Protein backbone atom coordinates (compact mmCIF):
# COMPACT_ATOMS: atom_id res chain seq x y z
CA UNK A 1 0.00 0.00 0.00
CA UNK A 2 1.67 3.15 -1.13
CA UNK A 3 -0.89 5.76 -0.19
CA UNK A 4 -0.13 7.82 2.92
CA UNK A 5 -1.77 6.74 6.13
CA UNK A 6 -4.65 8.89 7.31
CA UNK A 7 -4.18 10.58 10.66
CA UNK A 8 -6.84 10.50 13.37
CA UNK A 9 -6.83 12.68 16.48
CA UNK A 10 -8.86 11.22 19.34
CA UNK A 11 -9.86 13.60 22.15
CA UNK A 12 -11.43 11.62 24.94
CA UNK A 13 -10.96 11.81 28.69
CA UNK A 14 -11.80 8.19 29.45
CA UNK A 15 -8.59 6.13 29.08
CA UNK A 16 -10.48 2.91 28.32
CA UNK A 17 -12.41 4.43 25.43
CA UNK A 18 -9.23 6.11 24.24
CA UNK A 19 -7.51 2.73 24.14
CA UNK A 20 -10.39 1.08 22.28
CA UNK A 21 -10.50 3.89 19.73
CA UNK A 22 -6.73 3.77 19.23
CA UNK A 23 -6.87 0.04 18.61
CA UNK A 24 -9.82 0.38 16.29
CA UNK A 25 -8.15 2.95 14.06
CA UNK A 26 -4.66 1.45 14.21
CA UNK A 27 -5.91 -1.96 13.13
CA UNK A 28 -7.75 -0.29 10.26
CA UNK A 29 -4.76 1.48 8.81
CA UNK A 30 -4.89 4.89 10.50
CA UNK A 31 -2.19 6.67 12.39
CA UNK A 32 -3.60 7.70 15.78
CA UNK A 33 -2.79 10.60 18.08
CA UNK A 34 -4.67 10.98 21.35
CA UNK A 35 -5.37 13.79 23.77
CA UNK A 36 -7.31 13.87 27.03
CA UNK A 37 -7.97 17.58 27.28
CA UNK A 38 -9.14 20.31 24.97
CA UNK A 39 -5.90 22.27 25.29
CA UNK A 40 -3.73 19.30 24.41
CA UNK A 41 -6.16 18.47 21.61
CA UNK A 42 -5.78 21.90 20.03
CA UNK A 43 -1.98 21.66 20.25
CA UNK A 44 -1.99 18.17 18.71
CA UNK A 45 -4.25 19.37 15.94
CA UNK A 46 -1.77 22.14 15.13
CA UNK A 47 1.26 19.86 15.28
CA UNK A 48 0.00 16.72 13.56
CA UNK A 49 -2.50 18.17 11.11
CA UNK A 50 -4.87 15.19 11.38
CA UNK A 51 -7.38 14.28 8.68
CA UNK A 52 -10.13 13.52 11.19
CA UNK A 53 -10.74 14.54 14.80
CA UNK A 54 -12.89 12.35 17.05
CA UNK A 55 -14.10 14.57 19.90
CA UNK A 56 -15.98 13.47 22.98
CA UNK A 57 -18.56 16.12 23.85
CA UNK A 58 -19.35 14.59 27.22
CA UNK A 59 -16.32 16.07 28.93
CA UNK A 60 -17.24 17.44 32.33
CA UNK A 61 -16.28 21.00 31.42
CA UNK A 62 -18.01 20.70 28.05
CA UNK A 63 -14.95 21.82 26.16
CA UNK A 64 -15.63 19.50 23.21
CA UNK A 65 -17.55 22.35 21.57
CA UNK A 66 -14.82 24.75 22.64
CA UNK A 67 -12.33 22.56 20.75
CA UNK A 68 -14.50 22.56 17.60
CA UNK A 69 -14.79 26.35 17.62
CA UNK A 70 -11.07 26.80 18.14
CA UNK A 71 -10.00 24.36 15.43
CA UNK A 72 -12.67 25.50 12.97
CA UNK A 73 -11.07 28.94 13.14
CA UNK A 74 -8.13 27.83 11.06
CA UNK A 75 -8.69 24.30 9.80
CA UNK A 76 -11.23 22.54 7.59
CA UNK A 77 -10.34 19.22 9.26
CA UNK A 78 -13.19 16.72 9.53
CA UNK A 79 -14.67 16.62 13.02
CA UNK A 80 -16.78 13.77 14.34
CA UNK A 81 -18.32 14.10 17.79
CA UNK A 82 -19.27 11.42 20.29
CA UNK A 83 -22.40 12.36 22.24
CA UNK A 84 -24.89 10.88 24.66
CA UNK A 85 -28.30 10.06 23.24
CA UNK A 86 -30.15 12.57 25.40
CA UNK A 87 -27.79 15.48 24.69
CA UNK A 88 -29.78 16.73 21.72
CA UNK A 89 -29.12 20.41 22.35
CA UNK A 90 -25.42 19.79 22.81
CA UNK A 91 -25.36 17.90 19.51
CA UNK A 92 -27.04 20.79 17.76
CA UNK A 93 -24.53 23.19 19.33
CA UNK A 94 -21.70 20.98 18.05
CA UNK A 95 -23.08 21.14 14.51
CA UNK A 96 -23.47 24.87 14.73
CA UNK A 97 -19.87 25.10 15.90
CA UNK A 98 -18.81 23.21 12.79
CA UNK A 99 -18.88 19.47 13.51
CA UNK A 100 -19.32 17.22 10.46
CA UNK A 101 -20.96 14.20 11.96
CA UNK A 102 -21.79 12.47 15.20
CA UNK A 103 -21.96 9.03 16.73
CA UNK A 104 -24.02 8.29 19.79
CA UNK A 105 -22.42 6.62 22.77
CA UNK A 106 -22.30 3.71 23.38
CA UNK A 107 -21.14 3.36 19.79
CA UNK A 108 -20.38 0.28 17.79
CA UNK A 109 -16.94 0.14 16.25
CA UNK A 110 -18.05 -0.71 12.69
CA UNK A 111 -20.49 2.21 12.74
CA UNK A 112 -17.82 4.65 13.89
CA UNK A 113 -15.36 3.36 11.31
CA UNK A 114 -17.93 3.62 8.54
CA UNK A 115 -18.74 7.19 9.51
CA UNK A 116 -15.09 8.20 9.55
CA UNK A 117 -14.54 6.60 6.14
CA UNK A 118 -17.59 8.38 4.75
CA UNK A 119 -16.22 11.71 5.94
CA UNK A 120 -12.84 10.96 4.31
CA UNK A 121 -14.51 10.07 1.03
CA UNK A 122 -16.56 13.24 1.16
CA UNK A 123 -13.48 15.35 1.72
CA UNK A 124 -11.70 13.60 -1.12
CA UNK A 125 -14.44 14.39 -3.63
CA UNK A 126 -15.41 17.79 -2.22
CA UNK A 127 -13.54 19.60 -5.02
CA UNK A 128 -16.12 18.61 -7.59
CA UNK A 129 -19.65 18.46 -6.20
CA UNK A 130 -21.59 15.57 -7.59
CA UNK A 131 -23.72 16.35 -10.61
CA UNK A 132 -25.56 13.09 -10.33
CA UNK A 133 -26.99 11.68 -7.13
CA UNK A 134 -27.87 8.02 -6.94
CA UNK A 135 -30.21 6.94 -4.15
CA UNK A 136 -30.36 3.20 -4.66
CA UNK A 137 -32.29 2.80 -7.88
CA UNK A 138 -33.46 6.41 -7.87
CA UNK A 139 -31.38 8.84 -9.86
CA UNK A 140 -31.16 12.62 -9.88
CA UNK A 141 -29.17 14.56 -12.47
CA UNK A 142 -28.80 17.89 -10.71
CA UNK A 143 -27.38 19.71 -13.73
CA UNK A 144 -29.85 18.62 -16.38
CA UNK A 145 -32.69 18.37 -13.89
CA UNK A 146 -33.66 14.87 -14.79
CA UNK A 147 -35.07 12.77 -11.98
CA UNK A 148 -35.98 9.12 -12.03
CA UNK A 149 -37.84 7.44 -9.19
CA UNK A 150 -36.89 4.14 -7.59
CA UNK A 151 -38.74 2.19 -10.26
CA UNK A 152 -37.04 3.95 -13.15
CA UNK A 153 -40.01 6.19 -13.96
CA UNK A 154 -39.40 9.86 -14.57
CA UNK A 155 -40.65 12.03 -11.69
CA UNK A 156 -41.16 15.75 -11.51
CA UNK A 157 -39.59 17.73 -8.68
CA UNK A 158 -40.91 21.21 -7.90
CA UNK A 159 -38.22 23.95 -7.92
CA UNK A 160 -38.19 24.03 -4.10
CA UNK A 161 -37.87 20.27 -3.83
CA UNK A 162 -35.04 20.42 -6.31
CA UNK A 163 -33.25 23.09 -4.29
CA UNK A 164 -33.67 21.15 -1.05
CA UNK A 165 -32.25 18.06 -2.72
CA UNK A 166 -29.37 20.09 -4.11
CA UNK A 167 -28.65 21.43 -0.65
CA UNK A 168 -28.67 17.95 0.88
CA UNK A 169 -26.52 16.63 -1.98
CA UNK A 170 -23.93 19.37 -1.43
CA UNK A 171 -23.44 17.89 2.02
CA UNK A 172 -24.13 14.32 0.98
CA UNK A 173 -23.61 11.75 3.73
CA UNK A 174 -23.19 14.37 6.38
CA UNK A 175 -25.72 16.04 8.61
CA UNK A 176 -27.35 19.28 7.45
CA UNK A 177 -29.10 21.18 10.23
CA UNK A 178 -32.63 22.50 9.74
CA UNK A 179 -31.33 26.05 9.97
CA UNK A 180 -28.76 25.36 7.30
CA UNK A 181 -31.35 23.97 4.88
CA UNK A 182 -33.70 26.86 5.53
CA UNK A 183 -30.89 29.35 4.96
CA UNK A 184 -29.52 27.74 1.82
CA UNK A 185 -32.89 27.13 0.18
CA UNK A 186 -35.02 30.05 1.31
CA UNK A 187 -32.32 32.59 2.00
CA UNK A 188 -33.20 35.40 4.34
CA UNK A 189 -36.97 34.74 4.20
CA UNK A 190 -37.16 32.46 7.19
CA UNK A 191 -40.06 30.08 6.89
CA UNK A 192 -41.72 27.56 9.10
CA UNK A 193 -39.93 24.32 9.81
CA UNK A 194 -43.28 22.61 9.21
CA UNK A 195 -43.06 23.49 5.53
CA UNK A 196 -39.59 21.98 5.29
CA UNK A 197 -40.90 18.76 6.79
CA UNK A 198 -43.71 18.70 4.26
CA UNK A 199 -41.31 19.17 1.33
CA UNK A 200 -38.99 16.50 2.65
CA UNK A 201 -41.93 14.11 3.05
CA UNK A 202 -42.90 14.84 -0.55
CA UNK A 203 -39.32 14.22 -1.73
CA UNK A 204 -39.35 10.89 0.07
CA UNK A 205 -42.59 9.89 -1.61
CA UNK A 206 -41.00 10.58 -4.97
CA UNK A 207 -37.56 9.09 -4.38
CA UNK A 208 -37.78 6.47 -1.64
CA UNK A 209 -38.86 2.93 -2.28
CA UNK A 210 -40.62 2.85 1.11
CA UNK A 211 -41.31 6.48 2.14
CA UNK A 212 -42.39 5.38 5.62
CA UNK A 213 -38.97 3.88 6.22
CA UNK A 214 -36.65 6.25 4.38
CA UNK A 215 -33.27 4.83 3.42
CA UNK A 216 -31.72 7.81 1.68
CA UNK A 217 -33.33 11.01 2.93
CA UNK A 218 -32.86 10.33 6.61
CA UNK A 219 -34.02 12.45 9.54
CA UNK A 220 -31.42 13.10 12.21
CA UNK A 221 -33.64 13.63 15.27
CA UNK A 222 -33.40 17.08 16.72
CA UNK A 223 -30.66 18.16 14.32
CA UNK A 224 -31.62 17.98 10.68
CA UNK A 225 -31.32 15.68 7.67
CA UNK A 226 -28.74 13.50 6.02
CA UNK A 227 -28.70 12.38 2.40
CA UNK A 228 -27.31 8.86 2.38
CA UNK A 229 -25.73 8.22 -1.01
CA UNK A 230 -23.61 5.42 0.26
CA UNK A 231 -25.19 2.04 0.74
CA UNK A 232 -22.19 0.92 2.74
CA UNK A 233 -22.77 3.52 5.44
CA UNK A 234 -26.35 2.55 5.86
CA UNK A 235 -25.68 -1.16 6.15
CA UNK A 236 -22.67 -0.77 8.40
CA UNK A 237 -24.54 1.69 10.58
CA UNK A 238 -26.69 -1.08 11.95
CA UNK A 239 -24.41 -3.38 13.89
CA UNK A 240 -25.06 -7.05 13.55
CA UNK A 241 -27.00 -8.12 16.58
CA UNK A 242 -27.17 -11.77 17.18
CA UNK A 243 -29.66 -12.76 19.78
CA UNK A 244 -29.05 -16.04 21.51
Partner 1 sequence: LRAARFDTGVLTRHLGGLGISALCTAIAFPLYPHFDPVNIVMVYLLGATVAGLRLGRGPAALTAIANTAAFDFFFVPPRYSLFVANTQYLFTLGVMLGVAFVIANLMVNVRRQTEAAAERERRTALLYALSRELAAAADAVTIADVAVRHVASSLGEPGAVLLPNEEGKLCVHVPGSSDSDNSLVDLSAACRVYDHNQDGVEEITGQEPGKPLYLRLACGEHALGVLVVQSRNGGHLLPEQRALLDALTGLVALALERAHLAELAAAARASAERAALRNTLLASISHDLRGPLSAIAGAGSLVAQSSGSLDRHRRKTLGNLIEEKARDMSELLTNVLDLIRLETGKSALRADWQSVEDLAGIAVRNVEHRFGGRRIITDIPTEFPPVFVDGQLAVQLLTNLLENATKHTPTGTSIAIRAAVRDSRAVLRIEDDGPGFGARDPEDLFEKFERGQKESHVSGVGLGLAICRAIVHLHGGEIRASNRDTGGARFEFTLPLESLEIEAVEAVS
Instruction: Give me the residues that bind partner 1 (CB under 8 A), please.
Output: 85-86, 88-89, 106, 108, 160, 186, 189, 191-195, 197-198, 200-201, 205, 211-214, 218-219, 221-222, 238-244
**Which of 154/192 has CB closer to partner 1?**
192
**Which of 46/190 has CB closer to partner 1?**
190
| Residues present in the chain in total | 244
Least distance from C-beta 145 to partner 1, angstroms? 18
Least distance from C-beta 198 to partner 1, angstroms? 6
Least distance from C-beta 159 to partner 1, angstroms? 9
Number of Cβ atoms within 10 Å of the Cβ of 79? 28
**Which of 75/108 has CB closer to partner 1?**
108
Least distance from C-beta 157 to partner 1, angstroms? 14
- Cβ neighbourhood burial of 117 (10 Å; 0-12, 13-18, 19+): middle
Contact (CB, 8 A) for 6 and 33: no
**Which of 1/89 has CB closer to partner 1?**
89
Contact (CB, 8 A) for 138 and 117: no
**Which of 146/198 has CB closer to partner 1?**
198
| Rounded Cα gap, residues 16 and 113, in angstroms | 18
Q: Strand 6-11 vs strand 30-35: parallel, antiparallel, or unpaired?
A: parallel
| Rounded Cα gap, residues 222 and 69, in angstroms | 21
Least distance from C-beta 226 to partner 1, angstroms? 12
| Rounded Cα gap, residues 62 and 232, in angstroms | 32
**Which of 131/193 has CB closer to partner 1?**
193
Least distance from C-beta 76 to partner 1, angstroms? 30
| Rounded Cα gap, residues 7 and 15, in angstroms | 19
Amino acid sequence: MTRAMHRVLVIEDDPAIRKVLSMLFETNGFRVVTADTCELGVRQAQTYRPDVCIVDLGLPDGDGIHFIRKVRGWSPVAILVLTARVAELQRLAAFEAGADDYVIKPFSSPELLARVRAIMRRIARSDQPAAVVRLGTAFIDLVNRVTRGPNGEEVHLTPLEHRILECLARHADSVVTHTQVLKEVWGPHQIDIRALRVYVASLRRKLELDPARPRYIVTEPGVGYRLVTDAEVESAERPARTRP
